[in-house]
Amino acid sequence: MYALHDSNDHDSDFAKIYWTCRDWSYTYFAKLYNELGVVPFDRYIPESEVTPLGLATVKEQLASGVYAQSDGAVVFLGEPFGLHTRVFINSEGLPTYEAKDVGLSLTKWQDYHFDSSIIITANEQMQYMQTVLKSIEQFAPEPANRTIHLTHGVVKLQGGIKMSSRKGNIVSAMDIINEARAAGAASGIAANESTVMAAIKYAFLKQRMGGDIIYDPQESISMAGNSGPYLQYAHARARSILQKSSLTAAQLQDIDASERALAIKISEYNEVIMRAQIEYMPHHICAYLYELTQTFNRFYENEQVIGSEREAVRCSLLDIYANTLKQGLGLLGIDAPERM
């Protein structure tokens, strides 16, 4: 397609179609990211920008022996590395996605010299990406070894039906957002945008990376159970309790037996965050935050806070609990409202 018009051509009939469609795509993604509260990207790197470099690099490394000729095409022989052989330039001389990803990797390395580059694709692209990175490793080991490939499953409709463009049962990201809004309105709760976004983000992030997701709007928006809105409510509830106290917070000293379980659970926060970061698994944070709220609930059901002899100490513990919950939700991109 790139051979049909120059990258600076905005006037030919084909170019007008190309640039219009590309603008539509960028506009839609900008709308979606804005809905989700995603910080705007510094840069988009379109396929057309990296294709020439990818094509030239594969041809250059063909002469070096990294790639090989096969039936008129240029391939990387993956079998010696326990991988599949993949085509990088087809028999018509056109670059495949593999060659374009070579160009993308080298472009990012040249422009940013990154510490790490995280690529997220569907599970089906795991072997594809392994082969591409292994080929790059042969002539540019640093960017290849600093690239981390994560995969995710598919979003399924209720009932576990896998979405398929061929069958026409596709649900777009905006459809999911609107379904969550509708579920919130139908539930009778005060489902503002903060609650809706919490419902969606948490429903996805609590799933282990790589697994399929069956999204249930009603379950995700619920104020009960392991949901984003529930954790928001737990934070607001803690703040409400603290507002009832007129005492100055006290130092957390001489924690008694009834307070110890909550204090211990709070102390696990940094370890959980570190694990989630090292493993690139945000579901660890979700699981921890839910366990944290359950630990607090058990404490609050059995122990008096406001009006107790240990009110100042317990309010300090409660304040740390609320701050921990707020920080954890913030890492997930979820607001922690003061009241609900």
- Residue-wise pLDDT for 36-65, tens only, equals 989 889 999 999 899 999 999 999 999 999
Last residue of a domain, one of 151, 177, 206: 151
Q: Are residues 56 and 141 in the same domain?
A: yes
**Domain annotation covers residue 1:** yes
**Domain annotation covers residue 156:** no
Q: Are residues 99 and 69 in the same domain?
A: yes
Q: Are residues 200 and 108 in the same domain?
A: no
Give the residue ranges of DSSP H helices in the chain: 13-36, 47-64, 97-112, 126-137, 141-145, 173-187, 193-205, 217-221, 228-243, 257-267, 269-279, 283-302, 311-331
What is the residue-averaged pLDDT of the chain?
Answer: 91
* pLDDT digits 0-9 by tens, 125-180: 999 999 999 999 999 999 999 999 999 998 876 666 665 655 666 778 888 888 88
Cβ atoms 299, 166 nearer than 8 A: no
* pLDDT recorded at residue 138: 98
Report helix angle 311-331 to 269-279, nearest 10.
10
Q: Are residues 302 and 214 in the same domain?
A: yes
Q: Which residues constitute the domain of residue 10?
A: 1-43
**Domain annotation covers residue 339:** no
Q: Are residues 296 and 167 in the same domain?
A: yes
**Domain annotation covers residue 56:** yes
**Within 10 A of 257 (CB to CB), how many other CB atoms are there?**
6
Last residue of a domain, one of 99, 117, 151: 151
Last residue of a domain, one of 131, 151, 171: 151
Q: What are the distances in angstroms from CA 161 to CA 144, 203, 205, 207, 210?
A: 36, 17, 20, 17, 17
* pLDDT recorded at residue 241: 95
Q: Are residues 37 and 51 in the same domain?
A: no
* pLDDT digits 0-9 by tens, 243-266: 999 877 667 777 888 999 999 999
* pLDDT recorded at residue 166: 59
Tell me the CATH number at 302.
1.10.730.10
Q: Are residues 52 and 38 in the same domain?
A: no
pTM assigned to the model: 0.89
**Domain annotation covers residue 288:** yes
Cβ atoms 122, 151 nearer than 8 A: yes
* pLDDT recorded at residue 255: 84
pLDDT (average), residues 285-292: 98
Exposed/middle/buried for 299, CB within 10 Å: 0-12, 13-18, 19+?
buried
DSSP secondary structure, 245-289, as one string: --SPP----S--HHHHHHHHHHHTHHHHHHHHHHHT-THHHHHHH
Q: Which amino acid is at 56?
A: A
* pLDDT recorded at residue 86: 98
Q: Are residues 135 and 170 in the same domain?
A: no
**Domain annotation covers residue 338:** no
Strand-pair category, 73-76 with 68-70? antiparallel
Q: Are residues 88 and 173 in the same domain?
A: no
User: Per-residue confidence at 109, pLDDT binned at 50, 70, 90?
Assistant: very high
Tally of structural domains, the chain: 3
Q: Are residues 34 and 88 in the same domain?
A: no
Cβ atoms 53, 59 nearer than 8 A: no
Q: Are residues 110 and 184 in the same domain?
A: no
**Domain annotation covers residue 99:** yes
Q: Give, in degrees to the nearest 5, the angle at Cα 113 between 109 and 118.
A: 70
Q: State the Cα–Cα distance between residues 310 and 128, nearest whole angstrom.
A: 60
User: Per-residue confidence at 8, pLDDT binned at 50, 70, 90?
Assistant: confident
**Domain annotation covers residue 337:** no
User: Hunting for tokens 């696990």 — which residue is that?
Assistant: 268
- 47 Cβ partners below 8 Å, 6+ apart? 100
Radius of gyration of the chain (CA): 26
Work out the end-to-end distance of the chain between its first and last CA atoms, rounded to an integer number of angstroms. 52
Q: Are residues 96 and 16 in the same domain?
A: no
